[in-house]
Structure formats: structure tokens, C-alpha cells
């Protein structure tokens, strides 16, 4: 497809990189010549300098033959205007990145009137992910499928865990929960395991199950941590606002530390039940004096990845049990694998995954009925995809032990009429099933039939 991306910032650049790898014709529009030159040098993309809302610039980028415009600049108003202009010039589908709370809620109600196919808010989505991690503090990651009925969660195998040294054949015996380990991450790489795979201390396992069985797994493995009742947020960003609002609505006490005076005033007015501290959140003396070590959780949400990393390590040193770190730059992935910084969230990656799911759906005959959801896991090295099985899909009603599934792909679970099924040799796909597939990146799975070798 021909895709134009207006804005080559964090989200725009991430999208361009991923979509170009998937063989789409990508053109980036930005006012920064250096950013465009770097994009052309490092990615298989075209670049046009200018304003993405300008008709002349859009025409130069090939808007008349574009299948999709993605407006991902740092200005909400410019993104909306870019989409409206593109629609006027004949583009059927447009996606706008909108971050301001007051705009986002309005636009969701006006998608059809404005001709928008989709609105993404990376900050809101990141806040939602952070809150879901606070609900289950023992999980490093949580990804939801089947309309919230099924999840893939990340769990660290610590010293003393009964899973250390056990093969996956014994997983049910030890965990006493109907669940499947679909991915294992360790220092030597990422593994899509078989039953004979032996777990080791230090592994991070990604487990698929419904909420009932996840609760049982947490209990039986002794992963229970006390319920989060207080959260210390460092940085007063939009993510901080969204997260604090959700925490307060659910009875969790919130303290936010932010050094910008105007931002503190705005947060205090928007969040009257939160404690807002105007101070330098990078100062260990200030953090200690504000009682960081007494909080159940710490979420580092400054605009600097390195600062978030250091602050998270300091929070752990003070004994904070649950730590969540916001990071956008992927070059730190290997470092995070070696240093325990708790859970990591990336607004850029979340937004990119949501848009890539939409693009993949556009590429298939069944549109949005194909890829129901898409979640990159293990720092983007593995994808978890949700599909709805329909009459046109192959190998329905055949035992899985006889189905030719590509190497590096695992059927993680099947949801049938609201019931959760752990796949076995005699399990089969049926029309109407929701199936979650885990695959190493590179398979480019756009439709359910793409998982088969025939």
C-alpha cells in the first residue's frame, strides 16, 4: 500500500520503520530536513519537506495515490487538519495522533463526521497499560485479548521459584493453573518453547491464560504481592495525568512530583485529590524527603529515558515493591534485560502496534475481521496476534497434531464461546473461535491462513 506519514518524531519514525519492512511504500513528511535525511538513509522510505497539512506538500508526497495518511506530528491541531485535508484530496482512510484529553474525547465521538478512520493517543494507552500492571504487581507485562477475557503476562523466575529447573511438561503440576508458557526470554535470546524446554532462574516467561487461571497461577506460585494502595509518580506529563486520574478513581492515593510551576498548577486543578509537589524529581534528597520509600509503587514518567532508568533503580533501592519505567528508545532493550528495572512501558511502541494492526487489516480481504489485535512483546522481538476464525480459513476441525503450522509460530490459546482452551494435539480450530498466535518477528502474518505452511 501507499502510506504517507506526516511527522517523523518518535511515533512517526517507528511506524515508518515497521511499515517499510512490511513492503509498504512509505513517504514521510516533516519540516526538519535533518530528520528526513536520517530517515532516508536508515529506512526504505521517501521523504518530502514541508507542512503535512499543506495541499501542495501533500500532493508532492503523492496524496492522490495514497491508501492511508497517518498524521503523527507533535501538534494535535495539525494532525486533525492534515487528515481533513487528505480526505478532501481523496484519501479514504486517515489516522490522527491526538494527545490532549479535551480533543481526544470529542474526536472519538466525531470520527465519522471528520472522516477519521482511527484516533490514537499514545499517552492514554501507556497510562492504561501502567494501571493494569499496578492491578497485578507481580506481572512485568500484561497484554489483553478476546475483549479482556484472555491475557499474556510476563513473569520473572526469581531465585527460589519452583519453576526454576523444571521442564514445561511439569508446568501444570507446579502452577496448578490452566495456562501455557508461549515465550521464554533469557540472556541467549528469545525462545518459542516446546514441552521439553527447561526453565532457568532469571528467565522471563510469557504465560497465556484467562483471568481466573492467572489468579490461580499467582497464588500457587507464591507470586502474591500486596495490593497497591499508593503510587508515587515522577514527572507531570500527560501520561501522569491519565494514570493519576485512573488511580484516584479506583481508590489509590497519588503523589506527583513535577518541577514546572505552570504544569503543577494545571495538575492540581485537574486532579484535586492528588498531592502535587513542585520540585526536582531527579534529586534523591527530595525523593527521600517526600517519602518515596513508603509508597507501594513508583512510576517514572519524565521525558528522558536515562533519567527514568536511574530513578527506577533508586526507587528499588529504597524498597518500593512495584516500579514501572517509561522508555521510548529501543537501544536500551539489552540493558533492561540485564538490569532489573521492573516493568517497562513505551508509548511509542503501543501507538505503533495499534496502527500496524489497522494497516495489516487493510491489507486483507476481510478488513478488520482479520487481525483483531496485535501486541509486540519481548521488546518487539515477538508478536502476539489475535484472529477470528471464519468459513474461509483452512484446517478447521482438524486436530492440531496434524495441522502444518510454520516453524517459530505457536498457537497460544483458543477462545470458544467465551471458554478458554489450552491447545493440545487433539484440539482443533472451529468457525467463530478467537485464536491467539505467538510468532517471532519476520513472519509477516496478515491473515490467519498465513500461519500454515501449505
pLDDT for the residue 412: 94
Domain spanning 230-320, CATH architecture:
3-Layer(aba) Sandwich (3.40)
Fold designation for 370-451: Alpha-Beta Plaits (3.30.70)
* Nearest residue to 452 (alpha-carbon basis) of 273, 443, 427: 443
Q: What is the 3-state secondary structure (H, E, C) of 91-104?
A: CCEEEEECCCHHHH
**Residue 65: how many CB atoms within 10 A of its CB?**
11
DSSP, residue by residue, 355-423: HHHHHHHHTSTTGGGSEEEEEEETTTTEEEEEEE--TT-SSBTS-GGGS-BPTTEEEEEEEETTEEE--
Question: Cα Rg for the chain, rounded, in angstroms?
Answer: 23
Distance from C-alpha of 353 to C-alpha of 370, rounded to nearest angstrom: 15
Q: Which residue has the cell 478488513?
A: 367
Q: What CA–CA distances, in Å, run from 374 to 62, 411, 432? A: 29, 14, 18
pLDDT digit string (tens) for the chain, length 454 residues: 999 999 999 899 999 998 998 889 999 999 999 999 999 999 999 999 999 999 999 999 999 999 999 999 999 999 999 999 999 999 999 999 988 877 777 776 777 777 788 889 999 999 999 999 999 999 999 988 887 889 999 999 988 899 999 999 999 999 999 999 999 999 888 999 989 999 999 999 999 999 899 999 999 998 877 899 999 999 999 999 999 999 999 999 999 999 999 999 999 999 999 999 999 999 999 999 999 999 999 999 999 999 999 999 999 999 999 999 999 876 666 666 667 778 999 998 889 988 988 887 776 644 444 677 788 888 788 989 999 998 889 999 999 999 999 988 999 999 998 889 999 999 999 999 999 999 988 777 888 999 999 8
CA 363 to chain centre: 21
Q: Tell me whether the CATH fold assigned to 142-220 matches the one assigned to 370-451.
A: yes
Q: Angle of helix 101-109 relative to helix 238-249, nearest 10 degrees?
A: 70
pLDDT for the residue 206: 96
- Per DSSP, the three-state class of 308 is helix
What superfamily in CATH does domain 2-120 come from? NAD(P)-binding Rossmann-like Domain (3.40.50.720)
Spatial strand order in the sheet of 46-49: 46-49, 25-30, 2-6, 68-71, 93-97, 118-120
pLDDT for the residue 75: 93
The enclosing H or E element of 345 equals strand 343-345
Fold designation for 142-220: Alpha-Beta Plaits (3.30.70)
pLDDT for the residue 367: 45
Where exactly are the structural domains of the chain?
2-120, 142-220, 230-320, 370-451
Which letter does DSSP use for residue 190 in this model? E
pLDDT for the residue 334: 61
Whole-model pTM: value is 0.86
Amino acid at each position: 500500500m501507499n502510506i504517507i506519514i506526516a511527522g517523523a518524531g518518535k511515533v512517526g519514525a517507528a511506524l515508518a520503520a515497521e511499515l517499510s519492512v512490511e513492503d509498504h511504500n512509505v513517504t514521510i513528511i516533516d519540516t526538519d530536513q535533518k530528520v528526513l535525511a536520517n530517515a532516508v538513509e536508515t529506512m526504505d522510505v521517501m521523504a518530502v519537506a514541508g507542512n503535512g497539512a499543506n495541499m501542495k506538500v501533500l500532493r508532492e508526497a503523492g496524496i492522490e495515490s495514497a491508501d492511508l495518511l497517518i498524521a503523527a506530528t507533535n501538534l494535535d491541531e495539525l494532525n486533525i487538519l492534515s487528515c481533513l485535508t487528505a480526505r478532501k484530496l481523496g484519501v479514504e482512510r486517515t489516522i490522527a495522533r491526538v494527545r490532549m484529553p479535551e480533543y481526544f474525547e470529542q474526536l472519538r465521538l466525531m470520527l465519522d463526521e471528520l472522516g477519521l478512520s482511527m484516533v490514537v493517543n499514545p499517552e492514554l494507552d501507556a497510562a492504561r497499560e501502567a494501571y493494569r500492571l499496578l492491578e497485578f504487581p507481580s506481572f512485568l507485562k500484561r497484554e489483553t485479548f478476546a475483549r479482556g477475557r484472555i491475557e499474556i503476562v510476563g513473569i520473572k523466575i526469581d531465585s527460589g521459584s519452583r519453576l526454576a529447573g523444571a521442564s514445561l511438561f511439569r508446568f501444570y503440576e507446579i502452577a496448578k493453573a490452566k495456562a501455557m508458557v508461549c515465550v521464554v526470554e533469557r540472556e541467549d535470546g528469545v525462545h518459542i518453547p516446546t514441552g521439553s524446554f527447561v526453565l532457568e532462574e532469571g528467565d522471563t516467561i510469557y504465560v497465556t491464560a484467562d483471568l481466573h487461571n492467572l489468579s490461580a497461577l499467582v497464588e500457587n506460585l507464591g507470586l502474591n504481592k500486596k495490593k497497591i494502595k499508593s503510587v508515587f509518580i515522577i514527572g507531570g506529563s500527560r501520561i501522569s495525568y491519565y494514570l493519576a486520574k485512573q488511580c484516584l478513581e479506583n481508590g489509590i492515593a497519588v503523589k506527583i512530583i513535577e518541577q514546572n510551576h505552570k504544569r503543577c498548577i494545571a495538575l492540581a486543578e485537574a486532579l484535586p485529590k492528588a498531592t502535587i509537589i513542585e520540585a526536582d524529581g531527579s534529586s534523591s534528597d527530595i525523593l527521600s524527603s517526600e517519602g518515596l520509600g513508603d509508597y507501594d509503587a513508583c512510576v517514572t514518567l519524565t521525558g528522558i529515558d536515562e533519567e527514568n532508568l536511574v530513578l527506577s533503580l533508586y526507587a528499588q533501592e529504597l524498597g518500593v515493591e512495584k516500579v514501572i519505567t517509561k522508555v521510548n528508545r529501543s537501544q536500551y532493550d539489552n540493558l533492561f534485560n540485564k538490569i532489573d528495572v521492573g516493568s517497562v512501558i513505551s508509548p511509542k511502541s503501543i501507538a505503533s502496534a495499534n496502527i500496524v494492526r489497522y494497516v495489516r487489516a487493510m491489507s486483507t480481504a476481510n478488513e478488520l475481521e482479520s487481525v483483531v489485535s496485535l501486541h509486540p512483546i519481548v521488546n518487539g522481538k515477538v508478536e502476539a496476534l489475535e484472529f477470528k476464525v471464519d468459513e474461509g480459513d483452512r484446517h478447521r476441525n482438524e486436530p492440531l497434531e496434524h495441522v502444518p503450522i510454520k516453524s517459530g509460530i505457536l498457537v497460544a490459546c483458543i477462545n470458544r464461546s467465551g471458554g478458554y482452551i489450552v491447545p493440545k494435539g487433539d484440539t482443533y480450530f472451529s468457525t467463530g473461535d478467537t485464536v491467539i498466535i505467538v510468532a517471532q518477528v519476520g513472519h509477516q502474518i496478515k491473515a490467519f491462513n498465513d500461519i500454515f505452511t501449505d
